[in-house]
Amino acid sequence: MSKTTKRLLRIITGGALLITGLILNPVDTWLQLCIFIAAYLAAGGDVLFKALRNITCGRVFDENFLMSLATAGAFIIGEYPEGIGVMLFYQVGELFQGLAVERSRRSIAGLMDIRPDFANVKRGGVIARSDPEDVRVGDIIIIKAGEKVPLDGIVTDGASALDASAITGEALPKQVFPGSEILSGCVNINGLLTVRVTKEYGESTVSKILDLVENAASKKAETENFITRFARYYTPCVVILAAIISFIPPLITGAALEDWVYRGLTFLVISCPCALVVSVPLGFFGGIGGASRKGILIKGGNYLEALSKLETVVFDKTGTLTQGAFKVREIRPAGMSEAELLELAAYAEGFSNHPISVSIKNAYGKEIDASKITQSEEIPGCGVRVSVCGKTVLAGNAKLMKQKGIECKSEDMRGTTVFVAVDGVFAGSIIIADAVKADAADAIRLLKEAGVTRTVMLTGDANSAGEAAAAELGIDAVYAELLPADKVEKLEELLKEKSAKGKLAYAGDGINDAPVLARADVGIAMGGLGSDAAIEAADVVIMTDEPSKIAWGIRIARRTLGIIKQNIVFSLAVKLAVLVLAALGAASMWAGVAADVGVTVLAVLNAARTLKV
């Protein structure tokens, strides 16, 4: 039997017995008292048990203790119906609270449903179902239409559309074909796929997402910690105040003890901090869950709160704001044809796997005949020197040309320039471009609309490439030609420049971004193409390659914090007002419990709004 069903039975049984006791006549009968006691135990037996158990464990001052003390006191002074009514109202409030929490958990469970149940593994021509945790890297798995992708891998045969909404938040299906990388947790819509596994289950996307979401609740925000500390001191204080209200005025004024004890008990009932203790964690839980459904994984309430205070956002360039796919855009020969210049540059870059080198070789489009290269030397931070068919070819940046005393034209502001020299004579240049992502400009605009006061780009590319990208996107400042260690140093400077209350976020996707991600107030990893190291070091993971989702994360965080603050202000204001009325004798126990339960229900329902994005 579920907790909700048990609580509903308590409410029905306790209510029925209360009504039975009220209709008995005359009122002062042992039978009526026995029925009232039965109604009290039926409605609040679990509360009494929890209070006694917590006292034996050293946790005295909690809501169960307050409710037990107040209702038992009501029985002592003969206010049986009110004591029972308080327990019934309390159970009604707990029922609504439980329903709201369950709704939130079901929403998160929708995300948890991405966990795969099995994998169809093909071994020796035989296909057998296997636990995803037993599948190894290199194994071949078969994914039928309608099945979840159990592990990360590369499609080797077949074509289909994948529903990746649970992973990335993208509504449109993703088309995959041989050579496509696919992520676990997606759903195969309409085709049969053969996939070679590239990661074991523990390292797969779905496993990491589940770990992030499940562990997020353990990292509490400052607001949550404040409420926890507040409740720890608040509860004993109200017990002391209730005791003062109950006994001091009668001793001083000679007023009726029973009246003042009633006021003190009402004060206790109203003082329960249920609304705050429940609604604040529920709000953070809902915000994290809502963000997860948009493909934004936030590792804890502390990072959600930090997101809401972002003042500066620092970006890596390549792969974060740009596509990370370099292409040759222009060839500028000097004393030879474009084809000759491109061939020399391709041979110079023949042994390099750098993205710029790959782009030149792709543009050349022919096989590199290694026998023509007799000597190859990499010059760190500058370029390469090779001997091709007896000619000494230099290919690299302006520093290399200056170092070798070769005059060359200035760099192009629209991309990265690779200068080429043959036997000490300038032979021309090749312009390499890395196109910005489709939504990168929107990302910067949305961040500024969200109140981010400064955007910065850090890149290892040449000044010309960095400044061109920054100008195109509207970024406030750019720092180029930075090594990974330089990025950390520059980030330290930016951290000192921000205001005391503001936060700084760094967004990157590469393995060399991990140190910077860890140092920022909020590290944001672009997970679609991001490295495992960057995702591990980050506090927030964007599951797609869309930098605009950072602004979405900020909006979700600010909306969540706004709802939580509404609950705090509303709960404290109503409680303070009714507490004063109770102390003055203007609020009955019925009114007090109605106010307490009402505030709790409204706060919990308001907190549930954080789930909607």
Question: Cβ–Cβ contacts within 10 Å for residue 409, how many?
Answer: 14
Which residues are within 8 A (CB) of 88 and not within 5 positions of it... i.e. 6 or more apart? 11, 14, 15, 18, 43
Q: How many CA atoms lie within 13 A of 172 on its CB side?
A: 4
Q: Looking at 62, 152, 163, 316, which residue is catalytic?
A: 316
Quote the CA–CA distance of 309 and 505 in Å, as a whole number. Answer: 10
What's the N-to-C CA distance of the chain in angstroms? 33
- Secondary structure of the chain: what % helix, strand, coil (to 5)? 55, 20, 25
Phi, psi of 512, deg, nearest 5: -75, -5
Write out the DSSP string of 539-572.
Answer: SEEESSS-TTHHHHHHHHHHHHHHHHHHHHHHHH
DSSP 8-state assignment for residue 112: H
Is the Cβ–Cβ distance between 611 and 290 less than 8 Å?
A: yes
> Is 461 an active-site residue?
no
Backbone angles phi, psi at 385, to 5 degrees: -130, 125
In the block, tokens 């869950």 appear at 289
Pairing of strands 140-143, 119-123: antiparallel
| CA nearest to 605, candidates 129, 246, 102 | 102
Q: Which amino acid is at 181?
A: E
Distances (CA, A) of 89 to 62, 95, 468, 595, 598: 18, 10, 65, 10, 9
**Contact (Cβ atoms closer than 8 angstroms) between residue 457 and residue 479:** yes
Catalytic residues, by residue number, are 316
